[in-house]
Amino acid sequence: MSQSVDTPPSYSPQKEDGGKLSTQVVASDDLAATTPTEPVKQQGLKGFALIFACGAALFSDGYVNAISGPVGTILRRLYRAENPAAFDRFKQLFSSLAFAGTVLGMLVFGVLSDKIGRKFGMIFASLWLALFSVLCAGAYGAGGSLGGLYAALIAYRFLIGIAIGAEYPAGSVAASENTEGEGVNKKRQQMYFSLATNTMIDVGFVIAAFMPLLLIWICTMDHLRLVWRLSLGFGAVPPLILLYFRTKMEESKHYQKSAITNFAKMPWWLIMKRYWVRLLAISAAWFIYDFVTYPTGLYADYIVERVLPPGSSFQANLGWGVVINLFYIPGTLIGVLVNDRLGPKYTMILGLLLQTAFGFGLSGGFSSLKNHIGGFVVLYGLFLSAGEFGPGNNLGLLASKAAGPTAVRGTFYGIAAAIGKIGAFIGTYVYTPISNSLSHGDENAEIYTTGPFYIGSGLAVVSALVIFFGVPNIGEDGMLKEDEEFRGYLEANGYDTSAMGTLSHDVDAPGSVGASQGNDSDSAQHVAAKA
């Protein structure tokens, strides 16, 4: 990946350098003190291709999470009758341990992506996810026992969760930093990030719903054991495709210039004093977003039950799952067109308010809508799309670009994302008791279905207020500007910034980006840029 010397804003690159920098820099005498000679590596991915390679493995996050639904349906059909109690325990642990693994991966690799680098986390996630997706597909109980099969699937699911968790702070943060790299249109920085991350997650949802259906068409209903294994194994394909490109990447210029790899010298007090409100606000919003997604599953089940006549085929049930998941796509694609115009903050708030309106509309008009399934499906689809338009597309943007500086970007992203997953886990368990309490145990009462949506829509308003008051908006090159301000903030508080970054430690290293940029010239450039 090519990197060039950052030219202070008051200079003209065409006048001073005579064009783009190559392996030699031609500088005037008055700039010699502030413009170091920097060898630049003219190869590798650039622009959107680089952003995509960093973030697109999140397709597997969407796919692996969503595939558990149809695979669980197939496993229920195949195995539950043999021992219903054992199967129900398996289903609960299969979901719970996936959450646990994901949270662990987010927290551990959030720290490691700051200390070691984004590239390490991305390569680990690709290898780990591919390995355990294959093992999950080949899971087998000792002696063919069903209990052994359940135990193997649960264990592999936990380990897959670690890889998914690692992908968030490593891949997403690397993608966000490379949106401000060379070859990227500054008017589309937020668009490219959302396309490479959240849109890929949503595509993963759709493919996960469609893959078992496609395999049933190919293999027929007589080979459902092969269908569920192939469905799980497909999760290994995307990370393996991206692995080669990830091994060829360099760390972003943000990390090279602003990382603090010695955590013992990390100025945590200064960091938290400046950024704790942002981190708390984004974490709370992510918790709420994941917490309220559970009620949408209630309506999904209701739609399938109403649309399908009694005795409908297994394929028809899976087909409606595809249709429901398709609702995510319009929201994320429309949202990416707005991200750079309004900024992530206000795009997210708009999406939350739209989702609130559609959610209250679904709940308040439920008694009428349930008899007009077409209108019900449309309004439900708008609710899902609004969620992707707003928080779906922009939570990752705000967590990676607004929560904190490069030095702790991975750590903060991992914390916020982990809190979001905890919200999803809690929501999975509390909404059924809430519905039972509201309906006094009557599952046929309207409030049993609508109650969680009233709660979710109200919490969406809370989330919008939290983001409005707690998080700044992000514009062009927002992370570069934040890093400059953070460096100045540290210096003003007496912190020695001379050791920040990795460039000064790689002087003259073969193939390193910006290898000969030392501390003195870096500080001089910073002063010139601030001036």
CA dist., res. 484 & res. 489, Å (int): 9
- In the chain, % of residues over pLDDT 70: 85
Are 2 and 46 in contact by the 8 Å Cβ rule? The answer is yes
Catalogue the long-range contacts made by 153-159 (C-beta closer than 8 Å, 24 or more residues apart): 153/90, 153/94, 154/90, 154/93, 154/94, 154/97, 155/97, 156/132, 157/68, 157/94, 157/97, 157/98, 157/101, 158/97, 158/98, 158/100, 158/101, 159/101, 159/128, 159/132
Question: Structure tokens of 314?
Answer: 């297994």
User: What average pLDDT does this structure show over 80-97?
Assistant: 88
Q: Is the pLDDT of residue 391 over 90?
A: yes
- Distance from chain centroid for Cα 428: 20
Determine if residue 438 is left, alpha or beta; phi over 0 gives left, psi from -120 to 50 gives alpha, anything else beta.
alpha
For residue 280, pLDDT over 60 is answered with: yes
The pLDDT of residue 44:
58
pLDDT value at position 295? 65
Residue 294 is predicted with a pLDDT of 67
Task: Give me the pLDDT at residue 193, please.
Answer: 95
pLDDT the model gives residue 20: 38
Per the structure block, which two tokens stand in for 505? Answer: 């430690």
- Residue 504 exposure: Cα atoms within 13 Å on the Cβ side: 16
Distance CA 215, CA 98 (A): 24
pLDDT category of residue 504 using cuts at 50, 70 and 90: low
Q: Please state the rounded mean pLDDT for residues 366-383.
A: 85
Q: Give the residue-averaged pLDDT of 233-251.
A: 90
Over residues 468-479, the mean pLDDT reads 94
Q: What is the mean pLDDT of residues 223-252?
A: 92
**Phi-psi bin for 46: left (phi > 0), alpha (psi -120 to 50), beta?**
beta
Report, as an integer, the average pLDDT of 303-327: 81
- Tell which wins on pLDDT, 327 or 318: 327
Task: Catalogue all structural domains in the chain, each as residue range(s) with its CATH number.
Answer: 45-255 (1.20.1250.20), 267-497 (1.20.1250.20)
Q: What integer best gives the mean pLDDT of the chain?
A: 84
What confidence category does residue 9 fall into, taking pLDDT thresholds of 50, 70 and 90? very low
**Alpha helix positions (H), 116-261:** 118-137, 146-167, 173-178, 189-196, 198-219, 224-233, 237-247, 253-258
110: CB partners within 8 A, 6+ apart:
168, 169, 410, 411, 412, 413, 414, 415, 417, 418
In this prediction, residues 266-283 reach a mean pLDDT of: 97
Q: Which segment, 47-61, 81-95, 159-173, is predicted with the most confidence on average?
A: 159-173
- pLDDT reading at 527 higher than 60: no
For 450-462, what is the mean pLDDT? 90
CA distances from 264 to 115, 260, 267, 404, 454 (A): 11, 10, 9, 18, 47
The two tokens of residue 190 are: 């937020």
**Residue-level pLDDT at 178:** 93
In this predicted model, which residue has the larger pLDDT, 345 or 444?
Answer: 345
Confidence of residue 325 (pLDDT cuts 50, 70, 90): confident
Per-residue model confidence as pLDDT tens digits over 174-220: 999 999 988 899 999 999 999 999 999 999 999 999 999 999 999 99
pLDDT, one tens digit per residue, over 40-67 is 444 556 778 889 989 888 898 889 888 8
